[in-house]
Each structure stands twice: as structure tokens, then as C-alpha cells.
Structure 1
Amino acid sequence: MARLTVLTLFLLITNQTFGFNGDSFELECPDECDCHYFRINWVTDCSESNLTEVPYEELSMSVYILDLNGNNITELKTFPSDIKMRRLQIADNRLSKIDRESFKGLEYLIDVDLSGNNISYIDPEAFLDSRGLLNVELQDNPISTVEGPFLVSSTLQFLDISNCNLSIINYQFFDNITSLTNVDLSNNPLRTLDRGVFDILTSLETLKLNDCKLTNITDNVFSSLTNLKYLELAGNLLTTVSWPDLLGKLFRLEYLNLRKTGITELSEDTFSNCTNLVTLILADNELPELDVAATLGNSVNHLELLDLSNCKIRGPIAGDAFANATRLKTLYLSGNPLFAPDLQEALEPLPKLEKLFMSNCGLRKLPDNFNVFDNLQELDISHNPLVNVFTKLLAPLENLEYLNMGYSNLSYIGPDTFSKMTSMKRLVLSGNDLLSLEAGLFGNLTQLMTLELEVCGLKRPLNSNAFFKNLTYMDLREIRLGGNPLIIPAIGPLFPKQLSQVTIMDLSNCNISSLHIDAFKNTENITELNLAGNRISSKDNGLQFLQRLHQLEKVNLSNNNLTAIDPQVFINNPKLHSLNLIGNRFICDCKIAEMWDWANMIKGNLDVLVGAKSAEKDIVVKGNKKKKHLYCHYNETQLRNMTIPVNKTIPGRRPFIKPRELTFANRTWAKYVRESGCEPVVKILKPVALVTKLFNSDDLRISPAAVVMALIALVFGVSTFLMTLRLFFRRTTKVEYDTENNRKLR
């Protein structure tokens, strides 16, 4: 009884509850899986665990998301009848068919991802019990042939059956899934679309038919899709299609993607009925004789984005090319041979233009009428053989916020080039062999937020000469210097005081082997630091430069030469919430467990360690199926004839149930921490470990239910006591106040 009292008082004082992964309440979790809460939902992550079957008997009935991606499962049996699973992810396995029994009883299922399997047959009634089903992903399966209705679901809205080797969509295919609003049929060898296959989908808003080897589409195949807003037909060979007939009934169409469809000409009435068209993509088609003005006509007067990239438009662009599209805000002309005099006349009617992209156009100089573009905010002239001197042509763009001059064969940029661009927020000069920067080059860019100088051959970081000496650039938050062969000074700061407000610094792939402790002395406000792809090692306090970065929130140290790391390194980084250590050759020892405990118990979230468990992007619909994990490796001596015992329970960790032999030298951090048996060495964990011994002692037998009931009773008792105490003091205060008032009245 004494021990129980000590235990409950300890938990009350420290407010500690211990379940694995730092959660306050532990549910069932299969032995080979990693389980955690995502917001308030229980996630069971069994991905990439070499499973050959679903661990049905070990699942919690309250599992919200079950991730079985990347295993060797060949068959699905019936799930437990009471399971409340909302999302099932079983992509990249070896399933060959889906039977009616596979999803029987899954009444709460909303999303299911079966992509990347070997599924050739699906029972149309497989999801009949899932009355709230919204999303089904079946892409990358060899389904090939479907006779009759595909699925039965009155609620299904999103269906992805791209890359399923479907050659025919029969007339009954969508009969029992008429609520669909989004269908992706891309990458199927359909070749032709016959009239009537989509007639029943009157609610459809998005249809994707990219890369379907289409050569023939019946003129009225979309005539019933009166609610269609987004249509993608990119990557087909539609040279004989009658576009006015095909698009004639799509009055609500807002987005049309015809990229790389083999179009060689377009008639004047092509888009005459698409009066609500806002975005038109014609990129990557050979349209040498395109008459832009005639094609757009007078009906497309809502057009705001036009993409004509890589259309091989021959000869000069006519002066009236955009006369009927005066609302254009974004124009892509990249990849076409352009000449400055022609551009000058053609762009004249576009005073509302906000974004202009002319990358890789063979331009040696620019139009000299930029003064008409009062609203121009973004300009991309990258990958052009521009001469070094064109300052006067860009000078009128005083409202420009984004300028990309990357990879333009520049070796020199004059000191007055950006002198009038005081609104500039992002400047890209990457890919030019600049070697050095002129004095005062960035002096007037007082609103600059991002400066990109990647792969510029710079051998020294930015120096003070490029900026005004006595000015701190308060808005400059991001500097990217990745890919430069920087020579790091042995002592002193890397950057001048003018850059003291920088918060994002990219020094990836800069051949850095070490950084001095004062490297970031003048840039102590950095919150995000990217040092990936360098040669930083664990030797000689290789990470001591982090001590000055008290505001650091994210640091990327992936793909360096780290073999060990101690959480004490980050003692001066209290705001750190993302640490990427993937791709380092860590040795499996108790330092790994200490880092795990630091993230789990001190930081309170394993997500701090990138790759420790599933990230949010890994458990969303259409998320990345392949995850990168943190690994360590045993040396040969450790691995030889080593058997992992049934280790004792340690707070924040969950042991394997049965002993096992090590056969692989590489281990994920998650699995190593479970099998290591390392004691918690972080100081704050020692009292928790002490309390755990109370549960494991031979002369004390306390059931979990008794502990829970005792804690609940204790919480209620303390709450009642505190409320009583509060009421007592309130009443005493009131009595004293009333007594004082009565005395005054007398």
C-alpha cells in the first residue's frame, strides 16, 4: 500500500504518464509495427516491415489509420467485425485480387489505398459495407479488363485508376458509382473514347486522361458532363480531333490542359463555347503557324493564364497576338525562339500582366518597353544568352518582386543593375559563373527576402561589400548558397552583420568538413539551417557551431559523415522541432537510444527526428508511399551470433515479445531502440524508470485496471479538495468584506 501511495503521488506531482512513444494512452499494437497518435487518432504503422500477412489479431479496434505499405502481403482476409478503421493503406504489396470478404464489415472506412499491387480482379461489391467511402486508389495495378460495373458505392467521390492497363471503358463501368466528382484514368492504353461512357457522371468536376495513347475521341463524349470544370488530356496524340465539337458543351470549363497532345493547328472557333475558361495550357505542341489572336477569339475573355511554352512558334509573334486576352495575368512563352522587337509590340496590350516567363528563348537582349508593365511582379529570363549589360532595359520595373536571371551565361553584373528595384523580394542568380560580387550590388534591395546564388562558383560566402555597410537588411530572411565550393575560414563568422535577420540558410553540398564555433556569430537568428551533403563528422565537437543558434527550429544534417550524436549538442537549441539525420552512417549503440528518448520524452514528439516514424505526408491520401528512415548499423562483432533477449519494459519504448536473432546489420532506429535494452540515460527519464520498477517488482502485483481506477479516484479527490478550498477562501473574503461594510454603516 505504501508503494502504491508513493506511485500515485509521484504521477500527480510530475504529471507523467508513460505509454510508448510518449503518448498518454497506449492501444494495441502489432509486434512488428510502430504505433502513435496523429492528432487524436491512433495510427498503426506497419509499413516496410517484411510482413506476409495482415496482423489481424494484434490490431486495436480503435485504429484510425492502418499503414501496411511496402510489405509482401499476398492476400486480404476479413478484418475483425468491431474495428473502426477509417483509412487503410496497403500500397506496394503483392495482392492479386480483392474479394467481397476482404472489406466485409468495414463500416467506417473512408479512404483505401491499394495502389502498386498485382491486382487483376476486384469484386464490384468489395466496398458494399463501407457506406461512407469517399476515396479509392487503385493506380499501378494490372486490372486490364472490366466487364460490367466496376464498383458499387453510392458515396464514392474520388477514384484513381491510372496506370491500370485498361484498354476499354465499357458502357456500364460507372453505373454504380454515379456520385464521382474526381476521376483519374491517366496512363491507361485507352486509345479511343466512345460516346456514352461518361454520360452517367453528371456530378463530375475533374477528369484526367493524361498519357492514355488516345488517338480518337468521339465528338460528343463529354456532352453530358455539364459540371466539368477541370479537364486534362495531356500526353496524347490528338491530331484528328474536332476540338470545337469536343469542347462545345463544356460551358463551365475553367481549366484545360492540352500539353503535348500532337496539336499542329487550332481553328478560330476551338474555344468559342468555353466562355469561363481561366487557364489554358497548350505547351509542348508544335504550333509553328499559330495565330494566337484568332485562336483565342473574342469569347475567351476571362482567360488569366496562358501557357505557350515550347510550341516552336515560328517567326515573329504578331502585334495583335494578345489583343483579345487583355485580362491575362500570367503568360508563359518559354522555349520559343523570340526576338526583342516582336515582343515589344505583342506585349503592349497586356498592362495587367503580373507574371511573364521567357526562359530559354534565345534572347540576347530584352524589349525596351517594360515601362508599360506597371503590375509586373514576376519575370523569368533565365537560360538565355544575355549579354552582361542590360541594366537600362530592366530599370523601369520598379514594382518587380521576383526576378530570375539564373543560368544566363553571366560573368559580371554591374553594381547599378538592381538599383531601382526597391520592391524586389526574391532574386535568383544561380548557375552563373560569377566568382565574385560587385561592391554595393544588393545595396538598394532593402525589401529583399530571398537571395539565391546556388552553383555560382563562389569560393567565399557573402561579404559586406555587396551590401551597404551601415544598413541591416531587416526583410532578408533566406539565403541559398548550395553547390558552391566554399572555402570556410578557420575562425570568425561566415557572414557580415548586415545579414543578421536571416532565418533560412542553405549551405548544402558546399564541401564543408567543419565549421568554427563562431561561424554564425553575426547570423544568430537562423531558424532553418541546411547543411546536407557536406562532410561534417562527429569528431572534435563537429557540431559545436550550433551553440550560438538559440532560435534554431530546423536543421538538415543528412548525408554527412556523422557516426554518433549526443542530444547534449542541442542543449542551446530549445526551439528545435525538426532534425534530419538521414543518410549518415550511425553506429548502433546506446547513443541512438538516448537521442530517441530526447525526442520522445524531452521534446515530447518523435516527429522531431525526421525518419523516426511516419510523417504526416506519409499517411495522407495520395501521399508518398516510399518513406526514408533513420538507420544505424551493427559492426561484425556485434552481429555475430547475437540474440536479442526479451528485454524489460522501459518508459517510451516497447520490447519484442519473443527473442530473435539478428540477421541484418542495418536497423531502423525504431527497431534498434526496441531491441537494445539501453537504460534511459537522459536525466529526466531516471525518475520515470524508477517508478517503472515498482510495477515490475516481484512483491508488488498491481493490475493496469487498478492503477487506472486509482488514478481516476485520485484526480477526482484532488479536484474536489481544490474546489472546496477555493470556495472556502472566496467565502472568507466575502465575509470579511461584508463585515467591513457593516462596520462603516454603523
Structure 2
Amino acid sequence: MRIFTKLSAPLCLLFVFLCLKTAFSSSIHASSFSTTHLCSHEEALALLQFKTSFSVNYTVPYPDSCGENYSKIESWKGGIDCCSWDGVSCDNVTGHVIALNLSCSFLYGTFPSNSTLFFLRNLQSLNLAWNDFRLSKIPPEINLFTRLKHLDMSYSQFSGQVPAEIAHLPKLVSLNLSCSELILETTTFRNLVHNLSEVRELVLSRVNMTSVNPHFFMNLSSSLTTLDLWGSALRGNFPNSIFRFPNLKNFYLSGSFGERNLTIDLPSSNWSSPLQHLYLSVMDCGRRLRESVGDLKSLQYLYLGCNLEGSIPASIGNLSQLTYLSLSYNNLSGQIPSSLANLTQLTSLDLSYNQFSSPIPASIGNLGQLTKLDLFSNNLSGQIPSSLANLTQLTYLSLSDNQFSSPIPASIGNLGQLTILSLSFNNLSGQIPSSLANLTQLTYLSLSHNQFSSPIPASIGSLGQLTNLDLFSSNLSGQIPSSLANLTQLTSLDLSNNQFSSPIPASIGNLGQLTILSLSSNNLSGQIQPSLANLTQLTLLYLSNNQFSGPIPFHAIRFSKLSYLDLSHNLLNGTLPPWIFTLPLLENLNLNHNQFQGQINQFQQNSLRDLDLSNNKFQGSIPNSIANLVNLSYLDLSSNHFSDLVVSDMFSLQNLETIILSHNNLSLRMNVDANFTLPKLTDVFLSSCNLSEFPIFLRHSNGLQSLALSKNSIHGNIPKWICEKDDLQILDLSHNNLIGEIPNCHPKSLLVLNLQANYFDGIIPFGFPEGCGLRNLNLHGNQMDGLLPRSLVNCRMLEVLDVGNNNIEDTFPHWLESLPDLQVLVLRSNKFHGFVQSTKESLSFPKLRVLDLSSNDFRGPLPVRYIKNFKAMMDSHGEDGSPEYMKAPMNSYQYSLVVTWKGFERELQGILTVFSSIHLSNNMFKGEIPDVMGKLSSLKGLNISHNNLTGHIPPSLGNLTNLEWLDLSSNELAGKIPDELVSLTQLSVLNLSNNHLVGHIPQGNQ
């Protein structure tokens, strides 16, 4: 046994071979070699044994270039000359196997280091590409192929370090190790470069070469014709002397995605004149594309995505042999040069993801061979040139994400070969031209995010090959045309965010291949079309934000492939059909903001990840089968009439991240141990859930980011574990019975702290740290006293500060005026005193929209200097469109605010971003109302009653045309009521009582 352990690798292989020869001699010798064969007996045996080392696996995906599922080794059989086997080539004189091409042979298995393949010592060419050797190492015995000239091991799942022995193949002319899991170390590569003096083709794409110094490439053979280093993780400066290699025809180089740690400077002269293919990507290549690029007269393929800036040099028009040009993913700007029209051989032009401006030059219509034109994501403007109609060979045209305006030219209908047309994200207007119906080869059409002003033309139904139609957010109106039913190949239809009205046409149910249907955010009405039940291939169905009414009409289980169902924000009612709870692949169910009622059935699937049934009229118990939804990450059952829930039922939901049960009739029963937790829980909203204590299971939820327990009956102190939640961003404990002092802990992550309407006392903690991220601090309606902490000035992102209805005794906090984002300041009903005045001339409270200083002891004149700087109250923009509410970033939590609205105190559950008001009542202000008050044009309410103001009512108040209530009562105002107040047509409350006003009351349209 000791003898065998010391055998060298070649002797081991010889021993294996002799064993093989003995094993095969009885069954093969007589039949296989009874006649004279060119192939040697020993080499045939070696190949047959190699064949038995692997299985053939046709299930592994291979490229189309591999052809049919056929492995070359299937023809390897005894009795047939091995020189005639598929993939085997022999020397015509000696009979030795000199070439072996097993590419695309579907070989599957581990490549053995003692493979009998290494007996083929005369091998000159070995191609093992496109097989699956299951992350085998390249055997070091590779160096036994001393006569090898061509080696291709690409796409074959080799892994590990490239063996040093690969550098000992002195005759190697071409080497391809691309697209495996290989690592090429510095020493091995340096030896490879030094020893392979004959190499002409070196393909190392996606070989990990992180440790290799790019300067080693300077020593490559001058006979090099191809160098492929795509995705090889090289770092540093690649020598641009590579461009002076006299025989280099093909050069491919790219850095690592997500990094910019590879550079190469494009030469200003002395390019390699025979260069035909040049690819540089995900790197820096000298910022500017030089004029010298025009010297590459042999260039056929040019891809430069390497952070270029500036303009394209006109000399690029000299590259008359160019068939492919891509300058995408750069920062190129200026105009697209008209010299591109000289590239008459061009079949593909890609200038996407740049900053080109001005119109497309009309001369681009001279590129008659173009099949692809991609100008996506630039700043191109003007009209789409009609000369594009000359590009009759085009199959792909993308002009999306630019600033094109005016209608789509009708001449685009001349591009009869188009299969893909994308004009989305522009400012195109007018009608969609009916000439699009001529594009009968079209499979993809996107016109989304434009400003069309017409219905969809019925002629679009002529596009019988269409598989994807995207008209999202294009300002289209009218009815959905029934002719869409002719698009029987359609798999995706997106008509959402338009102005379509009337019911869904029944003919939509004929689109039996649809997998995605989105009709959200329109004005569609009536019952949901029953014929949609015929769309049995649907995976995504979006019908949200419409005016659909009635019950869900589908009565049978048809949507077995559905993964996303969104019917939210409609007027749907009735009970949910039972099949909704049985859909086997459903991951997202959103039915919020409807009028559904009744009880929820037991869930029979476990695929759900997001479940939103909020804002309906569901009642009864939450089904305990919810505990079976083991993949659930988002659960919102808020604003219904559910009752009773055992929280322990949810502790099998280990993937749950968000739970929202607020505003029900729930009585949560916490039958859980204190150590139970939901490990992924980040957001908990249990407002109005009849809680009397903090849910104990939250104690160990260390990733908690949002906690809302408002409007319960929780009593006692805030528990200490709240301060241990380092990731907490939102804490809402408002409207409870909490007592004691507020803990002096302020996590930097905290964005919202809402403790209003409790019984907290003592001082507000002073420790707001540097870098405080707080945006909303609401302590309204407690028993806080002392001073307002000056450390609040560290909260530079503060938007809302409400300390109203407390016992704080302080002067006006002028030091808050520097907070750049403060929009709401409420100090009402405290013991603030003194003058309200700015300490500086510069802009103060630039974004303030709500100011409430009422019921304090402020005195002196009204703060004119502040009023002059209330720029946000002078801006009346944003009144149109859908209302937007202030809320925490990256979260749906909306801010609330207690205001005196038209004389009545109320709590706003959302603060509109256009809401502005000033309340200065019940103080001791004196002097006149300043004229500048009339410049606050966005004000909804103004109350400066119960002060000691004198003088006249300024006529400038008539400019406050958005004003809904105005209260100047109980002052010392005199004179006439100005006629200008008749302009306040929105006014519903006007109180000027208890003053010294005279004359008539102006008559208007209020």
C-alpha cells in the first residue's frame, strides 16, 4: 500500500488505464477492434471511460446556439472508429486524437483529477464549453496537454483557483475560461503572461481577477488579437498601451457593477488600427470621447459606457464600417451630431441614459439599415422627426423619458417592421394616431406618462401580435374601446391612472392570455365586469381607485394563478365570496376603503404576504386561521367592526412585519408568555383597541420602528423598555391615561413623538441631542410645566411642535425661528408671556403655516417682523389636485393637530399641506393690525380676537380670498368695515363683535 501512496500523478493515471484495459478487453477487444481503425486502441478506451464519468442532463438550460438536445458522447460506442465519433478529430497519419469538441454536450458531474482524458497527450484543441461540471476544480494535470493550442472551458461550472499548471502550456494560442466561478491569482496570471508567448485569444470574462495588477497586461504577446475581460473585477488603472497592440481586433473590459474602481484613459492618438470590436463599461475612461476615435476605420462594434462627459465628436461619423454603436449610461450632453448620418452600415444605435438635449437631427433618417434605435432617458425635446419614417428596417424604437412634445407623427405608421415601440414619459399631446394600426408586427407598445387628449382609437385593435400594451397615466378619456378584445395575444394591459369612464366592456373577457390587467385610478363605474372571470391566466388584477359598486360578481374559482388582487378605494359592498379565501397562489389581497360587510371566512391558503381589509364594515371575530398564514408580513384590519382577538394566535406568524388593528371593537386578549415575540415585527398600530396596559410581547421586539397605541385606556408610566428600542421612529401614545414624567431618552432614530391628551407632569426632558431627527413633537393636553427646552433647536428637521394646553411658563421661543422646516407651532393655553419679536432681520420661520399663540399672556404689538417672513402663508399654490397630508417620511403615519376651527375646537386627523391659520386670541396684544397681514394669501383662518388692538380694519384683508373664518371680536377696533371684505367669498364665519365699528355692513356673495 505504501508503494501506491507515493506514485506520481502520471503513474497513477497509467495504473488506472491498465485496469481499464483489462476491464474492457473481454467485452470490447474482439468486437471493437477486429478491423483496422485509424483511432488507437488505448485512446478509444480512454474516451469511453471518460464518457462513463458523467451523466447527460438535458434539463439544464443551455443557449439556443447549442441547438437540439443532443450530447456528442451518445455516438461514442465500441466497434466504431473513435475518429468518426461526434466531437473527435484525429491526425490522418498517426491516428492520434488531436481535437476534442464536447461543447454543448449536456455533460453533468464532477470532473475527476484522474480523468482518462489526460491520456490524450497529442491533444491540440479541447473544448468543454457549456457543460455542468458542478463547480469542479480545474485539475492541475491540465499541464499534461503539452501540445495544446486551443483550450475552452467556458460556461461549464468550474470553480476555485485557476491552477498554476495552466501557465505550462507553451503552445497555447487561445484560452477561454469565461463565465465560471474561477479565481485567477496574481502569480498564476503573471506566469501565464510570461510563458504563453503564442497566445492570440485570451477570454477571461467573469473570472475573478481582483488581486491582479492591470499593468501585467502590458506584457502580453504582441500577436494578441482578442482580449476579453468583461466583469473580471479588475481594479486600478488599466494601461492604455493596450490600444497600441498592433494586431488587437477585439477588446472587452468592464469593472464591477456598483463600483467605479477601474479606469483606462482613451488615447488621443495611436489607436490600434485593426480594432474591430471595443467594449468598455462600468468604469472611467478619461471623461471625454476624443476626436481620435474617428481613426478606428476598421471598427464594427463600439460600446462605451464609462462615465463619459461632454459631446460626441463629429469624427465619429468617420467610422464607416460601424454596425453597432452604444454610448449609453454616460453623461454625454449637447446635440446628437448630424455626422452620425454617415454611418450607413449601422444596424443598432443606443444613446440611452445620457443628457442629450435639443431635437433629434432629421438626418438620422438616413440610417436606412437601423433595426434598433434607443434614445431612452435623455433631455431631447421638440417634435419626433418625421424622417424617422425612413427607417423602415426598425424593429425596436425607444424615445421614452425625454421631453418630446406635440402629437405623435402619423408617419410613424410607416415603420411596418417594428415589434417594440416605447414613447412613454414625454409630453406628447393630441390624439394617438390611427396609423399605429399599420404596425401589425408590434408586440410591445408603451405610450404611458404623456398628455394625450382623446380616447384610445378603435383601430388599435388591429395590432393582433401585441402582447404588452401600456397606456398608464396618459390623460386618456372616454370609454375603453371594445376593439381591444381583438388583441388576443395580449398578456399585459395597463390603462391605469387615466380618465376612462363608464363600465368595463364585456369584451375584455375575451383576452384569455392576459396575465396582468391594471385599470386602477380611473372613473370606471358600475359593477365589476363578470366576464373578467374568463381571464383564467391572470396573475395580477388591479381595479383600485374607481367607482365600482355592488358585490364582487365572480361566483366560481377561476383565478387559480392570481397572486395580486387590488380592489381598494371603490364602492363595493356585500360579503366576500368564499373563493377569495382559497386562491392557492394569492400573495397580496387589498380590499381597503370599500363597504364590504359580514364575517371573514377561514383562510385556506398560506401564500398570503400582504393582507389589507381596512376601512370596511367587516364584523365578528377575526378568524383564528389567520395563524396559518405563515408567510404574512403585512396585516391591516383597521377601521372595521371586528371584535375579540387572541393575540397568541398570531405568534406563528414569524414573518409578520406590520400589524394594524386600530379602530375596531376589539378586546385584545394577551394569552402569551412575556418572552414571546415576533422576530421581524417593525410596525404595530393598535389604536382604539380597548387596551388597558402595554402589550407585553412588544418588550422583546427589538426591531420595532413604529408603535401606535393611541385612544386606549392604558394607565401608569411609560415602561423603561421603550427607551431600549434603538430603531424606534414613531411613538404614538396619545389619548390614554398615562401619568408621571416623560422618560429622558431621545433615540436619534425617533421621528414622531405624540403623547398628547394624557396626564404627564413635570418638565419636558431637556436632552434633545445633537443630530436629533425629530420631525413631530406633540405634547398637547398634559400638565407639563417649567421651560420649553432650548435643546429642541438641535432638532433641525422639526416640522410640528405642539405643546398647547399645558402649564409651561416661558417667554416666546424666538430661538425656534431658525428651524428651516418648522410648519406648525402651537403654544396655546399655557403661561407664555412677554413680547413676540424676532431677534434678527434675516428670514424667520420660512415654512410656518400654522401658528397658535392663543390664551397666553403675550403683550406688545403684533409680531410684524415675523408676519413679513411667513413666506409659506403667502404661497397659495397647491390648492388644486388631490389633498396631501403631512406624514412621517417612508411611513403612512399622518400627523394630527388640535385646532380651533370656525370657533369650535376639533382634532384634525390629518394636516393638509395647504392648510394655514393664525390664532393669536386671548392675549394682551395692542396696536394696529398690520397691512402686511393681507399678504398671507393662503390663510384659511385668522383669529386675533380678545386683545387690545386699535385702529381700523386694514382693507388689505380683502386679499385673503382663501379665508374661511375671520374673528376680530373683542378688541378696540374703530371705523368702517372695509368694502374689500366682500372679496372673501369662501368666508363662512365672520365675527367683528365687541369693537367700535360704524357704518353699514358690506354686501357680497358670502
**TM-score, normalization: structure 1?**
0.49
Q: Which structure dedicates a bigger proportion of its chain to strand?
A: 2
- Structure of greater Rg: 2
**Higher RCO, 1 vs 2 (CA within 8 Å, ≥6 residues apart):** 1
